[in-house]
Structure 1
Amino acid sequence: MRKLFLSGILTFIFTITVFAQLKHTIVKGETLYSISKKYQVTPEEIIKLNPEIKKGLKENVIITIPVKSKKEYFSSDNKSKFIKNEYVVQTGETLYAISRKLGVSVDELIKNNPVAKNGISPGQKLTYLILNKTGTTEKFTVKKEIPLMYKIQAKETKYSLSKKFDISISELERLNPHIKSDVKTGDTIRLTEKIELPKSSKIIVVNKNGTDHFFDYTVQSGETLYSISKKNNVAIEKIIEKNPSVTQGLSTGFVLKLPLVEGKQLAKNKDSVTGNKRKVNLLETVNFSKERNLVLLMPFNINRIENDSTKTKIEYLKSDKFLNITLDFYAGALKAIDSAKVLGLPIKVKVFDAESSKYSSNVISIIKNNDFSTTDLVIGPFTNSFVETAGELLMDKNIPIISPLMKDGGKGGKNVFYAMPSEDIQREELFNYLKSKSDAIFAIHSSARTSLSAYIANKVTGVKSYSFNDKGILDFTTLKAQLVKGKKNFIILDSDKIMQVLSAVNQLIGFKKEFDIQLVVTEFNDALDFEDVTIKKLASLKLLYPSAIRENDSKEALNFASAYRKDNKVMPNQYATRGFDVTFDAILRMCQENGFSATVDEVETEQIESQFNYVNNNNRGVYMLYYNDDLTIKQAK
């Protein structure tokens, strides 16, 4: 287990992070199906360990998540370098999800299972390899991580730098023409010209003459030259110029060299025609010469745990969902801080135990008794009310405060930012997306559910609504008469009644013979987990829904998962990945020339699973996801 990165946090925090992956605390809106998707197990496997949930899921209840064992096949002499393992694909799993679970790359899975290149299906057996640690004595050299930029310390010379970073003096001079005579204390130099960020599919590269900037872009399923050119604001002619082979056609997974758009200043990043923000790589505009200070207010509650004689630390882990979430988030945040330091970002970090519970926190005491005059950004604590208290206390210093996890919107001052898109924002963005694609939008409501129908009636125009009567019956013939041929017909289903959902799904599948239909939900509920409402049926209707997170099978996402597992002995869950995303994005933003606040009105960014598009201090970075025919989840364009 890794050593503590920052002082002041007890050793047990990192030790118990390992066990946090085995428990899950049910949150509002979750269903058995959505939980099974998160942990890549089947609903039946979860029920087997938690039979009480057959009666339904209850908010804040902690359940056990099964961990699958691996079947090992040893060679006869047990000395081969690798051991062949076998894995059975579960319903709804993707190659990316399986690769994260097994700790191997998607490319390796396809290499060992060529048929998987065309898709996978439940029950299919996949072969993968792991290192046979007992049968080999081969030594492996660990490559030293070299930061992008480095600030020269007192008494350092070109010779000592070359030894420290395993780089030749001639290479140092080529990357830094200004040091050919000598190096000076305090100077910032470049140590590498290729950067791999665990955040998106883009890798920034600077060629040897230092003038031609471009990045690697991995072609996604269904993309064309036109869609790629629009997405990255690059002319098709420029793409062909860098990649002549594309004239023969594109294939999923192919890596293109795309030139970066000129004019990377933040003020020029806003689309002049649509007013939309462009997604950018903020590393390109980092100010490496100005040190920045980050503060994390983490609700560890160490004093309470240490002084409680009635519970052991492990018992706290089993019962305290807040502590589990905190530890996972913090572990992800540490990986973000590590990544920032490897990249040479000039940051210092302080961590305080905010000792927060539902009704109390020592945030006021922390701010009153510590010097925040040089602080550039604060992340946490996790409860909006305490985040807003911190915002009020630091308002006069104009220090941005980020609420990292709460899904409900807040009412903080101008310096308080909400990183998690609220349920209202997700719903708004869903309707914005639907209306941008078609004007044939219909809604089917349960008579017992009025929230969405009221929202549509008061805030959304052009949606035709239909309701099940008190007996649970709806006249689908009337609905069918309103469907439009030649257009996408979006059908929003708002019901948690099993028979109503089943009836609607079956009727809509029947309508697909004549109409282009896509089923839409604003949130998941237990009725969608009913055994007769199969994933196959939902996939046939391309079930569409809004989400604050996405599935990401890029090389960078896999690198992050691998690095996290190396440090923590488990794969990152949603809170750990969220900890990385929020923290790394905040660091990049605060390291801009004019700091965090200057970026929020100008740029949109994307990390491992999340995107950040702050509008009026609220993140509107919402994904539109849908079930594909092959039972995988795709991002709608």
Structure 2
Amino acid sequence: MKHILAVILIAFSIGLSAQDYIEHTVKPGETIESIAKSYLVTPFDIYALNPDAKRKFQPNTILIIPNSKVKNEAIVEDTRELIGYKNHKVKRKETLYGLSQQYGVSEEEIKKANRFLYSENLKKGDKIRIPRYKTVVSKQTLNNTVKKYIVQPQEGKWRIAYKFGISVADLEALNPFMNETIQPGDELNVPNIDDKEEKEVESAYGYYEVLPKEGFFRLKIKLNLTKEELEALNPELKETGLKAGMVLKVPADVDTSRSLEDVETTDLKGTLNNFKTKKIALMLPYRLDRIDIDAVDETKEKIKEDRRLSVVLDFHVGVMMALDSAKQLGISTDLKVFDTRYHMSKTAEILAENNFSDYDAVIGPMEENSFNRVARTLSADHIPVIAALNKPDQVYSNVFQTLPESELLSKTMIDFVKADSLKTKVVVISDHAHRASSEALQKQFPNSQLILTEKDKKNKTKDAYYIYHANLQNVFSAGRTFVFLETDNSSLASSVVSMLNALAVDDTEIILATLNKGKAFESKDIDNNNLSNLQFHFPSVHKDYDESKVNGFVEAYRKNYGVTPSKYVARGFDITLDLLMRLASAENLYDASINSIATEYIENKFRYNKSPSGGYVNEAVYIVKYDNLRVVKAE
């Protein structure tokens, strides 16, 4: 055996000698990330050549560093030089964040000058040192350097990565402070290659980033392009082959959206191996400052009246039940709960007064600006932030968005109908507010019919939100017809549902569907019996739990509270249990969230895909239907 290992080691060494590489001896205080940044490569590149570094990384370890494409030319760089300290006595309500803003230094720089702040919170009366710096402009020559590039109109990360022959991850490593969404005029670091080596980015083409473990066979299925076609568009593939992260040029009409092929549900119980206590923060707007816990009746009324508080409390119960279930699997949790009070200022105070650098994940907050602040602040330490009850406007690299995008919901519904081999006809009924999307929907189904609502007789610019019964005459025949109803108007939905129900007789099967089930279908004027008769189908983030099967979670909740759990209790349970099991099955949440891992719990399922902005978005969607007054998964 040892001879085989020796041969492998020699072969590996010979392979390396044929390439350009650098040997680096690890110094105290260095990390893989800091070393990668100094050589302008990515941590992934270092781990690829030094797999042992993941489990054994210490001073004096010798690492093999790949040579990046960046040339060794001097660049002008601003550096900060420590010139002394200013003494400061902490006043009431002062925070690290506030002091960092006041003196123009970072919180980390203050902590380094006052080591006790790593283990203790800042408090009134503390005497601390504030570091003072001066800026020095100098010419720096590194082992590898970069040049500056100004982002042009219509350029995104993928196009710039393609232009300079690097991956999106490489571009992000070169620009650690780059905005999640880059804008024309932004200045970026790029490889200092010769102008003639830059690839031309053509607006007539699209661009696709290769995912980990993707080969030509999978790309043929996803992009409908053969190996030969991809090589013709990207000649370098003949030399390098496919590599994760590389950006490929593809025809403009190719759908490069990251649609997920079906995979079997992953049972994470069999993969649990990391039983270190998980440190989790839960940030929700409990608004405890408004509640008098001694006034029981008054508190009950507030909970009934405040819909948001009811949701938060239900979610919290689900979280606690998940912690108990995880404990039974050997996963222990250190949970710290923070009341954000639904205020940005309170969230900022929580961030300033607490060190989250050693947390495994943060769930919340709900409020959009507060969530963005938490995600942006904790991105420096790569702490995952879970968007559990909201859809953030910006998916930072450390964000896990649990709610799928609405575009994916629509696409999943369309694909479901297309896959139905028994369908004979598709009809689209739409109000004018949804006309554009309904016309696009009509194009998905050749020979389908679009019926638009009538305009107001007095004001032709206004929608009257109704259709005549005559519009539906002779539309339906024997066999199956899918009817998409696209509206947010409850009166239109109610009248159309009634008319369709009356027409669905004998051999005429009408299946009602919609791309986005909004409040229009939850009106008290719509009879759920009619929705059941029409087998109403729609895409959904969650499904109702199966009452025909024994469910320990549901039984435990009923035993404690005397009622069935709401969807928010189930969501709190599902998200938290999934988070803990993923953390217990890998080194961190990022490693446990590759798109081949699909999980499903009580009412929710999760399959994360890395978004173009670098974060992770759940792309697991249910198609559900009304069946005997219950909402069940459609097969």
TM-score by length of 2: 0.50
Residue 519 in 1 paired to residue 519 in 2?
no
What are the superposed Cα offsets for residues 578-608 of structure 1, whole Å, 9 maximum, x if unpaired? 1111111111112122322223322121111
- Separation in structure 1 between the aligned mates of residue 314 and residue 500 of structure 2, nearest angstrom: 43
SS state of the match for residue 273, structure 2?
coil
C-alpha displacement at 1:555, in angstroms?
A: 7.5
The code of the aligned residue for 1:619 comes to N
The equivalent residue for 2:438 is 456
1:331 aligns with 2:331: no
* Cross-structure match for 1:77: none
Counting matched residue pairs gives 362
Deviation (angstroms), 1:417 = 1.5
CA distance in 2, matches of 1:612, 1:387: 21
Offset at residue 376 of structure 1 (A): 1.4
Report the Cα distance in structure 2 between the residues aligned to 1:355 and 1:373, rounded to whole angstroms. 19
Amino acid at match of 1:445: S
What amino acid does structure 1 have at the position aligned with 2:413? L
Alignment-mate amino acid for residue 354 of structure 1 = D
Q: Structure 1 CA distance, aligned partners of 2:311 and 2:499?
A: 39
Which residue matches 2:589?
Answer: 596
Return the letter of the residue paired with 1:383.
E
Cα distance 1:384–1:439, how it changes in 2: closer, same or farther (>3 A)?
A: farther
Of 517, 538, 541, which residue of structure 2 is paired with 1:545?
A: 538
Distance 1:506 1:398, change over 3 A: same
Superposed counterparts of 1:65-104, under 5 Å = none
CA distance in 2, matches of 1:558, 1:398: 36
CA contact (8 A) 2:429 2:485 kept: yes
Q: Deviations over 1:517-552 (max 9, x none)?
A: 211133254576465x53333322211122222122
For residue 608 of structure 1, the aligned residue among 602, 610, 622 is 602
CA distance, structure 2, for counterparts of residue 555 and residue 285 of structure 1: 29
Match of 2:427 in 1: 442
Q: Which amino acid counterpart does residue 366 of structure 1 have in structure 2?
A: I
- CA drift of 1:446 comes to 2.9
Deviation, structure 1 residue 610: 0.9
> What corresponds to 1:576 in structure 2?
569
Which amino acid in 2 is paired with 1:427?
Answer: S
1:221 aligns to what? none
What secondary structure is seen at the aligned counterpart in 2 of 1:583?
helix
Question: Mapping of 1:288-299 within 5 angstroms?
Answer: 288-299=274-285
Partner SS state of residue 385, structure 1 = helix
1:425 CA displacement: 4.1
Determine if contact 2:480/2:511 at 8 Å carries over to the other structure.
no
CA distance in 2: counterparts of 1:499 and 1:383, whole angstroms: 33
Alignment-derived partner of residue 634 in structure 2: 636
Overall identity of the aligned pairs, in %: 23
Partner residue, 2:326: 340
Moved more, 547-556 or 494-503: 494-503
Matched, 1:565 2:554: no
Partner in structure 2 of residue 286 of structure 1: 272
The amino acid of 2:360's aligned partner reads D
Query: Is contact 1:550–1:610 with CA below 8 Å preserved after alignment?
Result: yes
Give the corresponding residue for 2:451. 466
Would you say the 8 A contact 1:603–1:613 is kept in 2? Answer: yes
3-state SS of 2:313 partner = helix
- 1:404 alignment partner in structure 2: 388
Counterparts of 1:508 and 1:567, CA distance in 2: 41
Alignment partners' CA distance in 1, 2:547 and 2:409: 24
Contact 1:377/1:590, CA 8 A, preserved across alignment: no
CA contact (8 A) 2:371 2:392 kept: no
* Structure-to-structure mapping, 1:295-444, within 5 angstroms: 295-305=281-291, 313-314=299-300, 316-345=302-331, 347-357=332-342, 359-406=343-390, 408-437=391-420, 440-444=425-429
- Bigger drift between 511-520 and 324-333 goes to 511-520
Residue deviations 1:359-415, cap 9 Å, x none? 424333333332323211111122232222111111121111101112x45313011
Amino acid at match of 2:385: I
Q: In the alignment, what sits opposite 1:128?
A: none
Structure 1, unaligned stretches of length 5 or more? 1-265
1:622 maps to 2:621: yes
Secondary structure of 1:382 counterpart: coil
Distance 1:275 1:507 in 2: 34
How far did residue 336 of structure 1 move? Answer: 0.2
Q: Structure 2: give runs of 5+ residues left out of the alignment.
A: 1-211, 222-259, 457-463
Q: Distance in 2 between matches of 1:507 and 1:298?
A: 43
Cα deviation code 1:334-378 (max 9, x no counterpart):
000011011112x33231323232x42433333333232321111
SS of equivalent residue, structure 1 residue 492: strand
Aligned equivalents of 1:454, 1:470: Cα separation in 2: 16
CA 443–582 in structure 1, closer or farther in 2 if over 3 Å, else same: same
Q: Deviations over 1:421-452 (max 9, x none)?
A: 355543343233223335843211234xx1x3
Is the partner of 2:553 in helix, strand or coil? helix
Deviations 1:450-508 (A, max 9, x none): 1x322233577325421121266646666666668665534435363637743564256
1:202-256 CA-to-partner distances (Å, cap 9, x unmatched) read xxxxxxxxxxxxxxxxxxxxxxxxxxxxxxxxxxxxxxxxxxxxxxxxxxxxxxx
Measure the CA separation in 2 of the matches of 1:527 and 1:291: 44
Q: Deviations over 1:613-636 (max 9, x none)?
A: 2233222332222122x3333311
Greater CA radius of gyration, 1 or 2? 2
1:285 to partner: Cα distance: 0.9
Give deviations 1:28-54, integer Å, cap 9, x for gaps.
Answer: xxxxxxxxxxxxxxxxxxxxxxxxxxx
Distance 1:283 1:480, change over 3 A: farther
SS in 2 for 1:466: strand
Name the SS for the 2:532 alignment partner. helix
Q: CA–CA distance in 2 between the matches of 1:323 and 1:495?
A: 26
SS at match of 2:321: helix
SS at match of 1:294: strand
Q: Structure 2 CA distance, aligned partners of 1:507 and 1:335?
A: 43
| Distance in 1 (alpha carbons) for counterparts of 2:625 and 2:385 | 33
Alpha-carbon separation, structure 2, partners of 1:324 and 1:400: 26
Question: Is the alpha carbon distance of 1:626 and 1:570 closer, same or farther for their aligned partners in structure 2, counting shifts above 3 Å?
Answer: closer
Inter-CA distance 330–508: structure 2 relative to 1 (3 Å threshold): closer
| SS of residue in 1 equivalent to 2:344 | coil
Aligned partners of 2:268 and 2:322: how far apart in 1?
Answer: 15
Q: SS where residue 598 of structure 2 aligns?
A: strand
State the AA in 2 paired with 1:351.
Answer: K
SS of structure 2 residue aligned to 1:597: coil
Q: SS of the residue aligned with 2:359?
A: coil
TM-score, normalising length from structure 1? 0.50
Contact 2:277 2:333 in 1 (8 A): yes
**Structure 1 position 312, deviation (Å):** 5.4
Q: Distance in 1 between matches of 2:311 and 2:345?
A: 17
Query: Take 1:439 and 1:495, find their aligned partners in 2: how far apart are those partners?
Result: 27
Change (3 A) 1:485 1:594: farther
Structure with more contact order per residue of length (Cα contacts < 8 Å, sep ≥ 6): 1
- The letter of the residue matching 1:282 is L
Q: Secondary structure at the match of 1:391?
A: helix
